Amino acid sequence: MELGDSGLTIAVNAVMSLTAFFLCLNIIPKFKEMFLKANLCGIDLNKENKNKIPEALGVVCGAVFLCTMFLFMPMPFYKQLADNTPGKFPHHEYIHYLAALLSICCMVFLGFADDVLDLRWRHKLLLPTFASLPLLTVYFININATNVIMPKQLRWLLGFDLNLGPLYYLYMGMLAVFCTNAINIHSGVNGLEVGQSCVISLSVLIFNFTEMQGEHRMGHVFSIYFMMPFLAVSTALLFHNWYPSRVFVGDTYCYFSGMTFAVVGILSHFSKTMLLFFIPQVINFIYSIPQLFHFVPCPRHRLPRLNPELGKLDASYTVYKTGSLNKMGQIFVKLFSLFRLISVKEGVGENGLYTQVNNFTLNNFILRTFGPLHEQTLVIILLAIQIICSGVAFIIRYQLAKIFYDS
């Protein structure tokens, strides 16, 4: 396939993405009633009114994305399909599309099942692993590059590259689980889940278009085919999910989004650069560890708390009896407060001394430092951080990498 061909199919993809955008923009409000009737709804805890807001509308995006891709899939192969000489069809390329969509479809399905049924943690970790199996098999068949090139400074010790073998597959399997859950826990404010996904997909698209003339052109073109419709349906959803939200996106959207990024990163073979676009999510994940692993009590919702008098958001706190933390919990609280990463307050309650610390999320960290903030201001700050981090990611990828690798 020559570049001219890719240009044409990218244009077709762009037109289809635009159609998908308008379709989503138009049908999402129409589905609201259906979701409310099915009791798929929640109350926005950061608002004074307690209206029911339809939940899990990400499933509409996911369905439109899948349909768009089903229609688009034959396009990159239109010449070979028109020709249709037996044995000439590039099955090894087509297989990428099928495996990618199979994994994404599984995750949209799983996310929706989670929103409806409230699945347990073991299902949430087990099923994405199964869903990434076809992906890893196709990677094994077609690419099977499991070596990591070493930085110049370490080559005297470890050689030019290090073959990770099965460990590399473990890494890729974990990438899928990480991406889906990382977006899911960096949430809780209107528009944040979709907003961050839009920034990430836009960054990936910039990266793909930059690299399109390079060595791994086909991978980047493949990524563009997925990222454009994804950005399109996400932007349409963001419109309805922006402050004040008329719809919620649900776990469905987070799973859909995370898996799409993982799929593209793995099959286009730029998973490390993909991770660079996840800097805020990685920071939020590391910051969350004490609560995620229950060293510090983790309430069901860690989202900020509405201050009704100001109409602004404050950091939310978790409360525990002073001295009741286990050893690890104590170390984390000491360490984090030493570096001023958390606010610790002590007080006397009915049952004696208690301690409260802000919940360990990026949202609460920002509110603790700059708050109280209006919800819309907070989400704009968080998305600005996401954009700045994408800038940093590009600097790392293109400038810093020169120090460690040959151009």
The Cα 282–Cα 302 span in angstroms is: 17
| Helix extents (H) in 295-326 | none
Residue 74 as a binder of a second copy (CB under 8 A): the answer is yes
Nearer to a second copy (CB atom), residue 9 or residue 190: 9
Residue 40 as a binder of a second copy (CB under 8 A): the answer is yes
Phi, psi dihedral angles at 314 (to 5 degrees): -115, 160
Rule CB under 8 A: choose which of 20, 99, 198, 313 binds a second copy.
Answer: 99
Nearer to a second copy (CB atom), residue 29 or residue 311: 29
Rule CB under 8 A: choose which of 11, 29, 37, 328 binds a second copy.
Answer: 37
Residue 85 as a binder of a second copy (CB under 8 A): the answer is no
The Cα 20–Cα 15 span in angstroms is: 9
Phi, psi dihedral angles at 255 (to 5 degrees): -65, -45
Q: Quick one: which segment of 131-139, 267-275, 292-300, 347-355 binds a second copy (CB under 8 A)?
A: 131-139
DSSP 3-state assignment of 288? Answer: helix
DSSP 3-state assignment of 86? Answer: coil
Rule CB under 8 A: choose which of 14, 116, 282, 298 binds a second copy.
Answer: 116
Rule CB under 8 A: choose which of 49, 84, 399, 407 binds a second copy.
Answer: 84
Question: Which two three-digit tokens encode residue 266?
Answer: 């793995």
The Cα 13–Cα 158 span in angstroms is: 43
The Cα 28–Cα 57 span in angstroms is: 7
Residue 91 as a binder of a second copy (CB under 8 A): the answer is yes
Q: Quick one: which segment of 45-53, 127-135, 321-329, 334-342 binds a second copy (CB under 8 A)?
A: 127-135
The Cα 289–Cα 140 span in angstroms is: 32
Residue 34 as a binder of a second copy (CB under 8 A): the answer is yes
Rule CB under 8 A: choose which of 26, 51, 70, 83 binds a second copy.
Answer: 70
Q: Quick one: which segment of 37-45, 287-295, 326-334, 393-401 binds a second copy (CB under 8 A)?
A: 37-45
Q: Quick one: which segment of 9-17, 87-95, 345-353, 361-369 binds a second copy (CB under 8 A)?
A: 87-95
Give the count of residues interacting with a second copy (CB under 8 A).
47
Rule CB under 8 A: choose which of 16, 17, 28, 35 binds a second copy.
Answer: 35
DSSP-derived letter for residue 152 is: G
Q: Quick one: which segment of 115-123, 155-163, 304-312, 319-327 binds a second copy (CB under 8 A)?
A: 115-123
What would you measure as the largest C-alpha separation in the chain, in angstroms? 81
Least separation in angstroms between residue 153's CB and a second copy is: 32
CA-closest candidate to residue 332, choices 363, 368, 302, 360: 360
Residue 130 as a binder of a second copy (CB under 8 A): the answer is yes
CA-closest candidate to residue 121, choices 62, 40, 129: 129
Question: Which two three-digit tokens encode residue 271?
Answer: 């998973």
Under 8 Å CB-to-CB from 59, ≥6 apart: which residues? Answer: 108, 111, 112, 115, 250, 252, 253
Residue 43 as a binder of a second copy (CB under 8 A): the answer is no
**151 CA to centre of own chain:** 28
Least separation in angstroms between residue 71's CB and a second copy is: 7
Contact 241, 247 (CB under 8 A): yes
Nearer to a second copy (CB atom), residue 76 or residue 265: 76
Under 8 Å CB-to-CB from 89, ≥6 apart: which residues? Answer: 77, 80, 81
Q: Which of residues 137-176 bind a second copy (CB under 8 A)?
A: 137-138, 140-142, 144
How many CA atoms lie within 13 Å of 119's alpha carbon, on the beta-carbon side?
17
Residue 105 as a binder of a second copy (CB under 8 A): the answer is yes
Q: From the CB of residue 264, how many other CB atoms can be counted at a distance below 10 Å?
A: 26
Rule CB under 8 A: choose which of 25, 41, 95, 185 binds a second copy.
Answer: 95
Rule CB under 8 A: choose which of 106, 315, 367, 373 binds a second copy.
Answer: 106
CA-closest candidate to residue 262, choices 153, 174, 130: 174
Rule CB under 8 A: choose which of 14, 23, 25, 113 binds a second copy.
Answer: 113
CA-closest candidate to residue 232, choices 113, 67, 119: 67
Residue 131 as a binder of a second copy (CB under 8 A): the answer is yes
Rule CB under 8 A: choose which of 1, 19, 89, 217 binds a second copy.
Answer: 89
Question: Which residues contact a second copy by CB under 8 A?
Answer: 31, 34-35, 37-40, 59, 63, 66-67, 70-71, 73-74, 81, 84, 89, 91-92, 94-95, 98-99, 101-102, 105-106, 108-109, 112-113, 116-119, 127, 130-131, 133-134, 137-138, 140-142, 144
